[in-house]
Structure 1
Amino acid sequence: MKKNLFAFLLIFSFSFALQAQEQVRMTLEEALSLSLENNVNVKNAQLETMISKATIKETTASGLPQINGAFDLNYNPAIPVVFLPNEPPFGDPSIPSDVIPARFGVSFTSSLSANVRQMIFDGSFFVGLRAAKTYKQLTDYDLEKTETDVIESVKKAYFGVLVNQERIRLAQSNLSRVDTLLNETRALNEAGFAEKIDVSRIQVQRNNTFTQLERSRAALEISMQVLKLQIGLPMEYDLDLEENLEEFNSLEEVSALLEDPGNERIEVKQLNTNIELVGLDIKNNQSQYMPSIDFVGNIQRAGAGNELNSVFNSQNWFGSSLLGVSMTIPIFDGFLKSAKIQKNRIQIQQLENQRNYIRESIRSEVFSAKTNLKNDLSLLQVQEENLELAREVFDMARIKYTEGVGSNLEVVEADAALIEAEINYLSALYDGLVSKVDLEKALGILKTSIEN
């Protein structure tokens, strides 16, 4: 109930924000909650669970009384003729033929009836009811699988936006730094203390930095559109993320994740349910060897007359009723049910083989995800150290150049190394966050991690 209330308030607040202004601010948690409400795949999976609920009602209805009514009004333009032998004692000597034509019936007939049928015993009904409930469980697992996939996509898209925003921030800082250096070098060149090649060298570096900034801006626009698509936000609105990359770089959380044994993966639950469904199909085919028993009842009133206005006279109407039990006994079907059962057993073997393969694949996936995360953490530490060293080298090269004991080439090379170190650091940080998401999914705790 609390979760539904939170989702309602979240959607209401976003709807108001969209009407009031074009910019929407949100955290990762809010983005995930909104995506679970608006994502098209999640909506379709939710609709599938509603279909499964209706299927249970549909199956249950077949075991309840089936009552139908009928009304007939018939007109016979030509009443059928029945031929009788023209023989004594009912013969008519005045008729030369050896048969006498006789009309039995009236011009107008009508009837009003009600029929009821109630299943007493049918083995396939109870198996079908259980199968419908199992199918409902399967659709619940499908919904959970879809939500997990959406959470994975939203998290990675969210981190991608943050990385591109940080790249833009660093590129702008680098561009400002290079512009300052370029202006200083131009002034030195005009004063005769620097060569023209020094200015050209820094101009090339400035152009490369500007190009990197424009690429980062384009990448940000693309990643922002991908994120808005995932969370169901209209493309024409601006999205402002309230968090930064450093807030998700918790070593304690990563250490706990590496020690987490994980949960049973939803893919295994889906296969278990599919195996159960095929097993129920076997029981359904086996139950069809047994007879089915139904109670039947009928009540009817019928009337007739030679004129239409006399058909509905009460004295021309008569009632009848019927109560009985109907039993259908299967005798021989050409081994159809036997073939179906054999096919079901082979399907179970296929699903069991697939389940064993999935379990081994999951173990391999968990191992790979943990290895990748550990490796990415190590690389992140190395890149963080490289970034600090690159900053120190640039500062030293800049000081030496300003004091006249260093060359312009050293400053340009140090600046390029600093930019490369920044890019490598951001890439390592993003890879670490993605590896963390991959490990959460491999452990089967990606969805529960946001519910807690």
Structure 2
Amino acid sequence: MKKRLTLIVAAFMLLGFTGAQAQEVKQFSLQQSIDYALQNRANLKAAQNDEKIAKAKVGEIRAMGLPQLDASLDVGNNFVPQKGFLPAEFFGGKKGEFTPVTFSPGYTGTATINGRQLLFDGSYLIGLKAANTYTELSRKTTAQTEIDIAEQVSKAYYGVLVNRERMELLNQNLTRLDTLLRQTRTMFENGVAEQLDVDRLRVSYNNLQVEQQKAERLMQLAESLLKFQMGLPQDQPIILTDKLNEVEVDVAKTDAKSFDYSKRIEYSILETQRDLATLDLRNNNSGYLPKLYLNARYGYNAANNEFGELTKTNNWLEYGYIGGQLQLPIFDGLRKHYLGQQAKLKVENTKYGFETLRQSIDLQLEQATTELTNSLDVLKAQQENLALAEDIARVSKIKYQEGVGSNLEVITAETDLRQAQTNYYAAIYDALIAKVNLEKAQGTLITK
């Protein structure tokens, strides 16, 4: 008895521990799902880091125009002194001969502080502008990543909503068919129906069970895809708060002639790329301008044949220098000339890029509008077909129960109803995806 009581207590403790470890179910609307993804998607965090890198690059380039200071200390032993040659006649030798002479002491030391200040460099000034423009490009690239994430999350979210509604309908179908199967089996036992009627319904019931199991797996896969797009752990249970019947889907006609292309992030990115290409051209042209620097040095030199004497302060001789340096480019083998040609062609290519992008956006707007219009037409037709299939299935069941209809007619009506349901929800999903595509084409998927 004590052993059994101990096992029961242990079981309750295990259940309590498991319950404590269970994760809290999180609820998400579509907007909340997008916001969560924008905070947690790894690729967006990487894009944001690239944006920070671009800002740090501006600081790096700006530092090139600030004073540059460095200090050095050099102490060494000339264990094999370098020798020079003097005429031998200086030392009483023959004329025309040379005597090797050592000028280097045994130990030497140098302590120096060097300073350098850029006074003028056309490339530096343009480089600062280019760095700021590159930062802007990085920011817009991050915005483009955010739009792509919003698109992916929206489509995955709608996929879960559609699958959830379809699962509920499949469960209702399975319950209805199970009831009909039990009624038919009772009728067979009373001699009103045939075994063939029972077998047909049983086959239909088994097929619907398999379809339900497949739908459950697809539902799990759809949720896994949504969690992935959100950057959410796969073991985190979630509940979607939006309802499928609350999603508004309509066609907002957009006139391509009056469309503001700047609403599209791709167009804005191309504008920044054009600015960078123009700055690159200006930077190449600035290479023909001179560069002016201010240089300064201050330090001490020491030399002695004894290392101990070298360390004494009175052996160090002070020196200083300040001056300017002017660099004039004269000839570089036409390198800047050819770089300039490349830069001009890049600027010209950005102009062609605008023309191509505008045509592409016009086509996307037309295509997305057409797809949504067609999807809504199909949805309307499938909705009507679903209503008719439901009515046919209802009447067929009544006729069979009243003895004026056949079992085969009921099964056929049920099969047609399930096909109509499948078509209806496929049409809903297509309309939702077309809605997202149109919002992206219009540049309204994310508005800040």
> TM exceeds 0.5?
yes
The answer on 1:51 being equivalent to 2:32 is no
Shift of 1:435: 0.8
The answer on 1:75 being equivalent to 2:77 is yes
- Asked if the contact 1:262–1:445 (Cα under 8 Å) also holds between the matched residues in 2, the reply is no
Cα distance per residue 1:349-399 (max 9 Å; x no partner): 223222211111111111111111122122222222222222111111111
Distance across 2 between alignment mates of 1:270 and 1:198: 67
Residue equivalent to 2:5: none
Which amino acid in structure 2 is aligned with residue 21 of structure 1? Q
Residue equivalent to 2:266: 267
Provide TM-score, normalisation by structure 2.
Answer: 0.91
Q: For 2:372, what is the secondary structure of its paired residue?
A: helix
Residue equivalent to 2:140: 141
- Asked if the contact 1:228–1:234 (Cα under 8 Å) also holds between the matched residues in 2, the reply is yes
The answer on 1:25 being equivalent to 2:27 is yes
Q: For 1:447, what is the secondary structure of its paired residue?
A: coil
Distance across 2 between alignment mates of 1:63 and 1:98: 54
Cα distance per residue 1:155-186 (max 9 Å; x no partner): 00011111111111111111111111111111
Residue equivalent to 1:406: 405
Shift of 1:436: 0.7
Distance across 2 between alignment mates of 1:323 and 1:134: 36
Q: For 1:389, what is the secondary structure of its paired residue?
A: helix
After TM superposition, the structure 1 = structure 2 runs for residues 125-136 of structure 1, keeping only pairs within 5 Å, are 125-136=124-135
Shift of 1:313: 1.1
Which stretch of structure 1 is more off in the superposition, 410-419 or 284-293? 410-419
Distance across 1 between alignment mates of 2:444 and 2:345: 33
Aligned residues: 425
After TM superposition, the structure 1 = structure 2 runs for residues 75-114 of structure 1, keeping only pairs within 5 Å, are 75-87=77-89, 90-92=90-92, 98-114=97-113
> Against the structure 1 CA distance between its residues 26 and 262, is the aligned structure 2 distance closer, same or farther, given a 3 Å change threshold?
farther
Residue equivalent to 1:223: 222
Which amino acid in structure 1 is aligned with residue 203 of structure 2? V
Unaligned stretches of 5+ residues in structure 1: 1-17
- Asked if the contact 2:23–2:237 (Cα under 8 Å) also holds between the matched residues in 1, the reply is no
Which stretch of structure 1 is more off in the superposition, 262-271 or 229-238? 262-271
Which stretch of structure 1 is more off in the superposition, 437-446 or 97-106? 97-106
Distance across 2 between alignment mates of 1:169 and 1:75: 90
> Against the structure 1 CA distance between its residues 301 and 378, is the aligned structure 2 distance closer, same or farther, given a 3 Å change threshold?
same
- Asked if the contact 1:440–1:446 (Cα under 8 Å) also holds between the matched residues in 2, the reply is yes
- Asked if the contact 2:254–2:365 (Cα under 8 Å) also holds between the matched residues in 1, the reply is no
> Against the structure 1 CA distance between its residues 101 and 259, is the aligned structure 2 distance closer, same or farther, given a 3 Å change threshold?
closer
Shift of 1:263: 5.5
Residue equivalent to 1:310: 309
Give the share of equivalent positions with the same residue, in percent: 38
Distance across 1 between alignment mates of 2:288 and 2:387: 78
Distance across 2 between alignment mates of 1:60 and 1:280: 16
- Asked if the contact 1:262–1:444 (Cα under 8 Å) also holds between the matched residues in 2, the reply is no
Residue equivalent to 2:341: 342
> Against the structure 1 CA distance between its residues 369 and 316, is the aligned structure 2 distance closer, same or farther, given a 3 Å change threshold?
same
Shift of 1:20: 6.3
Residue equivalent to 2:370: 371
Which amino acid in structure 1 is aligned with residue 310 of structure 2? V
Question: Which of 60, 63, 76 in structure 2 is aligned with 1:61?
Answer: 63
Cα distance per residue 1:229-257 (max 9 Å; x no partner): 11111112222212221121x25xx25x4
Distance across 2 between alignment mates of 1:98 and 1:365: 91
- Asked if the contact 1:114–1:299 (Cα under 8 Å) also holds between the matched residues in 2, the reply is yes
Q: For 2:85, what is the secondary structure of its paired residue?
A: strand
Q: For 2:91, what is the secondary structure of its paired residue?
A: coil
Which amino acid in structure 2 is aligned with residue 107 of structure 1? G
- Asked if the contact 1:263–1:445 (Cα under 8 Å) also holds between the matched residues in 2, the reply is no
After TM superposition, the structure 1 = structure 2 runs for residues 110-189 of structure 1, keeping only pairs within 5 Å, are 110-189=109-188
Residue equivalent to 1:4: none
Distance across 2 between alignment mates of 1:48 and 1:347: 24
- Asked if the contact 1:299–1:320 (Cα under 8 Å) also holds between the matched residues in 2, the reply is yes
Distance across 2 between alignment mates of 1:83 and 1:149: 77
Which stretch of structure 1 is more off in the superposition, 32-41 or 344-353? 344-353
Residue equivalent to 2:238: 239
Residue equivalent to 1:6: none
Residue equivalent to 2:15: none
Distance across 2 between alignment mates of 1:373 and 1:406: 41
> Against the structure 1 CA distance between its residues 166 and 84, is the aligned structure 2 distance closer, same or farther, given a 3 Å change threshold?
same
Cα distance per residue 1:289-341 (max 9 Å; x no partner): 11111111111111122111111212211111111111111111111111111
Q: For 2:92, what is the secondary structure of its paired residue?
A: coil
Distance across 2 between alignment mates of 1:300 and 1:387: 94
Distance across 2 between alignment mates of 1:51 and 1:81: 53
- Asked if the contact 2:150–2:446 (Cα under 8 Å) also holds between the matched residues in 1, the reply is yes
Distance across 2 between alignment mates of 1:72 and 1:298: 15
After TM superposition, the structure 1 = structure 2 runs for residues 381-420 of structure 1, keeping only pairs within 5 Å, are 381-420=380-419
- Asked if the contact 2:87–2:95 (Cα under 8 Å) also holds between the matched residues in 1, the reply is no
Shift of 1:43: 1.0
Distance across 2 between alignment mates of 1:361 and 1:96: 90
Which stretch of structure 1 is more off in the superposition, 320-329 or 403-412? 403-412
Distance across 1 between alignment mates of 2:346 and 2:441: 27
- Asked if the contact 2:267–2:357 (Cα under 8 Å) also holds between the matched residues in 1, the reply is yes
Shift of 1:98: 4.3
Q: For 2:160, what is the secondary structure of its paired residue?
A: helix
Which amino acid in structure 2 is aligned with residue 36 of structure 1? L
Residue equivalent to 2:38: 36
Which amino acid in structure 2 is aligned with residue 74 of structure 1? G
- Asked if the contact 2:187–2:193 (Cα under 8 Å) also holds between the matched residues in 1, the reply is yes
> Against the structure 1 CA distance between its residues 98 and 286, is the aligned structure 2 distance closer, same or farther, given a 3 Å change threshold?
closer
